[in-house]
Amino acid sequence: MREAEESGELFGGKKVTKCFRFSSEMVDELESEAKRKAISLNSLMNSLATSYLEWGRFIERYGGLSFSQASFSAFIKAIDDVSFFEKTGSEAGSKTPRRLLMALGLSVTKENVLRLVNIICKYSMSYRFDHKIIDKKHHFLITHELGEKWSNWFAGYLRSLFKDMLGFEIEIDKDDDSISFVV
């Protein structure tokens, strides 16, 4: 088992110091962004590297798409068939998560599947989420601004993810801008 799986961090472990060369214009932009976020340049660079390793490289490698929220929302509104969203979410949830775990080098365990849900919420489609552990149960609240159709898509995705990977059903509460469930 990888050290990252044991520590609970995807890229945990011993820290090392490396030196990289950037153009002065790039450094100026990075320092400006770090200042805007009120974090150190080192923290910004760690955040960017983590984002790339947890998500960005797979989007590049496996053909992910980037849309503005406004463009994607217009696309969703143009599709009238509400059942289409839960069906396609379910299909995606039965394939994509397993591939992502394999690409990350993680085994299919409850902890890693929950970690994957955190990664998906963190990096895709403008979700905001809370994940709390209460009495050894994982409580998720995921909010978005894409409407009921998107709640249906993500609910189908999550149901398939948990059923296909861990063999159990989850009960999902959803409305037009949020999804919640307990595992």
| Amino acid at residue number 8 | G
Both 50 and 95 in one domain: the answer is: no
Contacts of 20 (CB under 8 A, 6+ apart): none
**pLDDT above 80 for 8:** no
CB-CB contact of 168 with 130 (8 Å): no
Tally of domains within the chain: 2
Q: Supply the pLDDT for residue 67.
A: 82
Q: What is the DSSP string of 74-94?
A: HHHHH---HHHHHHHHHHHHH
Half-sphere exposure of 2 (CA within 13 A, CB side): 14
Both 143 and 162 in one domain: the answer is: yes
* Res. 2 pLDDT band, cuts 50 70 90: very low
To which residue do tokens 């970690």 refer?
A: 115
Per mean pLDDT, which range of 38-42, 70-74, 141-145, 176-180 is the poorest? 70-74
Range of the domain at 47: 24-64
8 in any annotated domain: no
Both 120 and 145 in one domain: the answer is: yes
Q: Supply the pLDDT for residue 9.
A: 63
pLDDT tens per residue across span 113-127:
999 999 988 888 678
CB-CB contact of 177 with 144 (8 Å): yes
Of 8, 37, 64, the residue at which a domain comes to its end is 64
- Summary mean pLDDT of the chain: 89
How many Cβ atoms sit within 10 Å of the Cβ of residue 3?
A: 11
**pLDDT above 50 for 7:** no
Of 64, 94, 117, the residue at which a domain comes to its end is 64
Of 36, 64, 92, the residue at which a domain comes to its end is 64
51 in any annotated domain: yes
Most confident segment among 6-15, 55-64, 141-150: 141-150
Both 41 and 114 in one domain: the answer is: no
